[in-house]
Amino acid sequence: MAIEIRIPTILRTYTDGAKAVDAKGATLQELIDDLEAGHPGLKDRLIDKGALRRFVNVYLNDEDVRFLGGLETPVADGDTVTVLPAVAGGAR
């Protein structure tokens, strides 16, 4: 069971420039662990202290996984996971 994960420009140094990579797993957490095996360092850019980083958006198909089950969100064959760095900032 392979699921496509779309990688943003800034993280493509971990994927040899690939825009999308495949990984396996039944939940987002398993997917990210599998991703890390093939692309060391990527997990740390997505997860901090066991939770998704606050300024990284991860989507399952059309939904932000924060509104689903976070890292526990189940994933299935044919799903697409998209990673986008949040665009944020402020005056302080």
Partner 1 sequence: MLTISRELVDKIIAHARADHPDEACGVVAGPIGSDSPERFVAMENAERSPTFYRFDSLEQLRVWREMDDLDEEPVIIYHSHTATEAYPSRTDISYASEPNAHYVLVSTREELGEKAEFRSYRIVDGVVNEEEVTITLG
Q: Which stretch binds partner 1 (CB under 8 A): 24-32, 35-43, 68-76, 79-87?
A: 79-87
> Could you tell me the sign of the dihedral formed by the alpha carbons of 13, 78, 85, 8, in that order?
positive
Binding status of residue 50 toward partner 1 by CB under 8 A? no
For 19, the 3-state DSSP assignment is coil
49 versus 92: smaller Cβ distance to partner 1:
92
Give the range of 27-35, 36-44, 56-64, 69-77 binding partner 1 by CB under 8 A: 56-64
